[in-house]
Structure 1
């Protein structure tokens, strides 16, 4: 008979028994009741170690009174195994992965050795089915319900992949390297991404989920060539959350799909000459984020989905990679860059999952679709004769239900008494085009043309009957030339002026930049 005894988490005790059942040397079975981080009692049955859990897991199908054991892929006292020993008993994916991504990257960065560990919860009878356990371990690593992986390619062509996997009865991690041993600089650069990986994991597994990708864009581009983050998380309602994020010195992309909808963002970093300084970029980014808030309110978009869109847009348009050499000056002076946003070119879209919330009018969908883009074209073979055109565009199409007083979505049922509501449909478009031109080295054109339109259709229902319908169109456009201001700025910047005149000039240039940003509201263009 085998006796289970308390032990220190750092010094496991193995008790041999002759009635052992043969098991794979790589399979470790532990018994943990009082000490979740490591087994409170370890029994060696031949090669494996049994970890008995007092809690009953009915999902594992054990008989009444049958013990549950944790089956480890291998025995280890490393940091990753300790974290895994604490986490898998929680039903929350966030708790299972808590601290695990950072621990995995940190442990790998110490020596660059591959890592593979897993822990399964199963019954004592199934624990010694060696072939079955091996199969479950393989499936856990490759086809688990929940998977988050980070793939890093070095400038020298090597690839390192970290993966976290989980399902109801197991938790797994792996770190692999392909292409040969890593240098100290490569290990250091990879190790610096541990907290970035964990931040992304914590965001994805939060309720509601978030896209915390900003730190993943801050890698050392002189050592690392690209970063790829992929995730698939099983939703409670059967709707999976998937994410594909990629970043290098040429391009960044994010694709997310979940129960609430889809996001697609792409940033083109090749034309680094159009980028502004940090302050200009921050102002442009804040302008867009404020616009997203207004668009969310106008189209009644789901807050959690729009927050993810804002998070991804901010991450992908921050911390642009710095080249080893400065690009050729786009223009003859720095001030005329104020006619551009300062951001890299991009394409972005957010589409909310359609919902037929009115059982008596299934054609009345609650929907939200928003697209946004910036494209810059630089023409001309020499600096003295060059033309720059930058266009920003946006489009919004949305429909939603409101109470008769304009409040939140009403509770619509199959009886006429519940059919008192407003059904609103909006269709908006906006554009902003900036144009710069040089002839023989002289600035000959500096203009901005903007337009915006908003169409709002509202249907009013009382006791299920349409009693009123209104359509309100709004549109406006504006065109401005900033040639005089930019010529003056270029001229005066070369002179020594007093502080007050320099302040006035800076304020004028700041106003210029704000007038370049896309404006979706026609009323704002009319002012």
Structure 2
């Protein structure tokens, strides 16, 4: 069954990935992978084989494992599935051969094409950098491994242990609702300083979609920019004392994901962008959190503290849908969705059992959308008056949660959470294309909970 590549819900139709084991039986003599293998190994094509109009050209004739895998993958009609196994193979190679490596295969094509590029940059603790680059187009496939300095045996082993994590990240980025950076987040902090991964889909000179991942000891981030919208997640790992146990983190994660779903329904978010946002949030906030716990925690918080706090690291995140003018008769009525959410935790230890903790959470929603006049009516806006029966709504909403905890001489002195929601909803009602009603409704809600 054909699948739509994740890199965007509106991009290229991709065939299923071909696995290596599927090539165990000899394909037809005209299979491009057979032709490529013969050229790569320095052999000649069988004389009975029909002439190849445009034979593949290899940068280097070789039979090494990476070239052999590229030979198989080059036969795939999908530019995305050609990276199958190549990311892992590149880092595994560094475990046995630390030298630079470059290989490519191509045949003459027809001008501008869609290109898919992956770039992995790893900075080691001694500032040496290692870069793995992959590129696939309709006519070419290339891989390059470069190191700025000599790698020790321990460093090479640390890099090769990331092989599966790198491949899982590549595979996940082709379906942005199934992002998987968990393996890369489990890097050896004593030997590696930071990891950066970028995926780009480019059509000619225009970048259609970009995805970027970063991780170091203090921060993590993910961003995506494509046809459906934009997603940004930035995580601050400096307040490790506020991070709870697995159960507390799960409860905090579930609460945020529920909040995102409610905002998506309330503001009519694009389903694809919201799925990417939630997947990225779970990966950046939840995955590998315990791997950062090697740092010395400045304060040992109590079970009471963790029960009140979210248990999650601080962050700032946002998602923005690409605006859509869905009503051809009123182009100024644009469907939009923009959502920002953040958490910031402050811990002050004054000694002798005296300390204060504050955790602030803020969410802002700005959205506009069209709805039918009744739940059983359909919305099909076009240039006819008969289609112009609808509500056009604009929602602006702010939600703030402020938690404060203080201790005097080791005893809990005060603990509370104040929550407030404020905003405005504007509703325009149209009947047969005529504005018949306009309603602006402000709303506010405040609650406070004291803990003892």
TM-score tier after normalising by the smaller chain length: 0.7 to 0.9
Q: Does 1:297 align with 2:293?
A: no
The one of 205, 212, 215 aligned to 2:183: 215
- The alignment of Structure 1 onto Structure 2 pairs a total of residues equal to 424
Deviations 1:134-181 (CA, angstroms, capped at 9, x unpaired): xx9xx99xxx93211111122232221111112221110111111212
Matching of residues 74-93 of structure 1 within 5 Å: 74-93=60-79
- Whether contact under 8 Å (2:80, 2:116) holds in the other structure is no
TM-score (norm 2): 0.85
Q: Distance in 2 between matches of 1:335 and 1:461?
A: 53
Name the CA distance, whole Å, in 2 between partners of 1:371 and 1:408.
32
| Structure 2 residues without counterparts, runs of 5 or longer | 1-22
1:115 aligns with: 101
Q: In the alignment, which residue of structure 2 is the partner of 1:280?
A: 248
Contact persistence 2:33–2:75 (CA under 8 A): no
Deviations 1:39-79 (A, max 9, x none): 388479xx976769x999xxxxxxxx871110011112122
1:520 maps to none
1:250 CA displacement: 0.6
Distance 1:154 1:240, change over 3 A: same
Answering whether residue 141 of structure 2 is matched by residue 155 of structure 1, we say no
From 115, 123, 129, the equivalent of 1:145 is 115
Partner residue of 2:137?
167
SS of 2:126's partner is coil
Instruction: Identify which of 334, 352, 362 aligns with 2:331.
Output: 362
**Which one has a bigger Cα radius of gyration?**
1
Residues 210 and 43 of structure 1, relative CA distance in 2, 3 Å threshold: closer
Residues 209 and 312 of structure 1, relative CA distance in 2, 3 Å threshold = closer
Shift of 1:315: 0.8
Unmatched runs of 5 consecutive residues or more in structure 1: 1-8, 11-31, 57-64, 127-135, 485-527
Write out per-residue CA displacement over residues 397-456 of structure 1, whole angstroms, 9 at most, x where no aligned residue. Answer: 111112233479833222212222221211111111111112233321111111123533
Does structure 2 retain, via aligned residues, the 8 Å contact 1:434–1:447? yes
8 Å CA contact retained: 2:338, 2:366: yes
Match of 2:212 among 244, 248, 254: 244
Q: Which has the higher contact order (CA 8 A, sep 6+)?
A: 2
- SS at 2:91 equivalent: helix
Cα deviation for residue 246 of structure 1 reads: 0.6
2: CA distance, partners of 1:476 / 1:220: 47
Does the Cα contact within 8 Å between 2:132 and 2:143 map onto a contact in 1?
A: yes
Q: Secondary structure at the match of 1:373?
A: strand
Task: Flag the 1:284–1:409 CA change in 2: closer, same or farther, 3 A.
Answer: farther
Task: Give the alignment of 1:192-271 within 5 angstroms.
Answer: 192-206=161-175, 210-234=178-202, 240-271=208-239
2:415 maps to which residue?
Answer: 446
| Secondary structure of the corresponding residue to residue 195 of structure 1 | helix
Contact 2:129 2:147 in 1 (8 A): yes
Alpha carbon RMSD of aligned pairs, Å? 3.2
Q: CA shift at 1:117, angstroms? A: 0.6
Counterpart Cα distance in 2 of 1:422 and 1:344: 40
3-state DSSP of counterpart to 1:83: helix
